[in-house]
Amino acid sequence: MSQVSHLGEGTSAQLGSVDNALKLIRYVLECNEVRLSDVAGHLGVSKSTAHRLLSTLAGRGFVTQTRSRTYLRGRVLASRGRAEVGAEIQRLIRERLERVSAEVGETCSYVVLEGNGIRFVDRVLGPEPAVVATLGVLLPAHTNSGGKALLAQLSDEELARLYTRGLPESSGRGPRSVPQLRRELATIRRRGYGVNVDEAVRGVTAVGRHVRFPHGEVLGAMVIASPSLRTPPARVSRHADVLLRATTELEASF
């Protein structure tokens, strides 16, 4: 009898934790941005319990912690949000890709972060396109300008979880260690865009900038890729300026 009672108590506790996790997911979806104290008050639990729930959801991609220690929708819930208004968002992104590609005469792509990789989900080819990844392909984020721009938006804790075993091996150039990557990401945060020169693909230079919803959720990144032979530093700067304007306008249209 005591064994049955013990199992019943354990099951009840587990169900209570699941119920709180589901309530927390709904709360994040409703509020978009929450603090630890908000969660504790909403669920009627201690701050330590709230922190444990948030940490668990963060580890599964449901929430993400900002540098100001608030919590936003993570990539799993962001995907849910995109599915609900996906067609309109895809149209807006596609229009912006077309305008940028026409303005700079190069290939412009849109990428999203998946774990420590990036996936190319849309693209407009320039008149003389550089060699770029096939749509749908997942590539290491740390060797791609758009991937670096997205990694730079993560908290130190999120980045550490992505690279617990160090950086994936890469045959190209680029950061070779997590400390080196962190230093580059700090630079990207200051200047506002990522760059790779012959890193993802030899002979290709790319500039990438993140796209963010008004409440703070990072949606993905726009990337301009061009042959390195016709992309000196001055042209990299011009592409960065074009992306800054394009992403700002795109964010304002959401």
pLDDT in tens, 155-172: 888 898 889 888 877 656
**Least confident interval from 31-35, 50-54, 123-127, 250-254:** 31-35
Q: Residues 173, 193: one domain?
A: yes
Q: Measured between alpha carbons, how far is residue 2 from residues 9, 10, 16, 51, 152 in Å?
A: 11, 12, 21, 32, 53
Q: Identify which has the larger pLDDT, 64 or 99.
A: 99
- Domain assignment of residue 79, yes or no: no
**How high does pLDDT run on average in the chain?**
83
How many domains are contained in the chain? Answer: 2
Of 31-35, 115-119, 243-247, the poorest mean pLDDT is in 31-35
Measured between alpha carbons, how far is 78 from 80 in angstroms, rounded to an integer? 5
How large is the average pLDDT for residues 233-252? 95
Q: pLDDT tier at 124 (50, 70, 90 boundaries)?
A: very high
Q: Is residue 232 scored above 50 in pLDDT?
A: yes
CATH number, domain with residue 63: 1.10.10.10
Query: Does pTM top 0.75 for this prediction?
Result: no
Rounded average pLDDT over 2-21: 55
**Helix (H) or strand (E) segment spanning residue 148:** helix 145-151
For the residues 228-239, what does the mean pLDDT come to? 95
Are 130 and 41 members of one domain?
Answer: no
How far apart CA 210 and CA 11 sit, in angstroms, is 43
Average pLDDT of span 10-26? 69
* 138 pLDDT above the threshold of 70: yes
Q: Is the pLDDT of residue 178 over 80?
A: yes
Q: Which residue has the higher pLDDT, 105 or 28?
A: 105
- For residues 20 and 137, membership in a common domain is answered with no
Q: Are residues 208 and 125 in the same domain?
A: yes
The CATH number that applies at residue 164 is 3.30.450.40
Of 26, 52, 74, the residue that ends a domain is 74
Q: What percent of the chain has pLDDT over 90?
A: 40
Give me the count of residues in the chain.
Answer: 254
Kindly state whether residues 166 and 219 are assigned to the same domain.
yes
Final residue belonging to a domain, choices 74, 93, 120: 74
The last residue of one of the domains, among 74, 93, 125, is 74
Domain that holds residue 38: 2-74
In a domain, 61, yes or no: yes
pLDDT (average), residues 173-187: 90
User: Which of 86-90, 130-134, 145-149 bottoms out in mean pLDDT, i.e. has the lowest?
Assistant: 130-134
The pLDDT, as a whole number, for residue 119 is 87
Would 80 be classed as within a structural domain? no
The proportion of the chain whose per-residue pLDDT surpasses 70, expressed as a percent, equals 83
Q: Which two tokens stand for residue 249?
A: 């306008």
102 and 154 housed in the same domain: yes
What is the CA 234 to chain-centroid distance, rounded?
27
Q: Tell me the mean pLDDT in the region 124-149.
A: 84
Place of tokens 């938006």: 153
Give the pLDDT confidence score for residue 133 in this predicted structure.
67
Domain assignment present for residue 202? The answer is: yes
Asked whether residue 60 falls in the same domain as residue 36, the answer is yes
Helix or strand holding residue 128 (H, E): none
Residues 235 and 209 in one domain: yes
pLDDT at residue 215 in the model: 64
Q: Judge whether residue 2 has pLDDT over 60.
A: no
Both 10 and 67 in a single domain?
yes
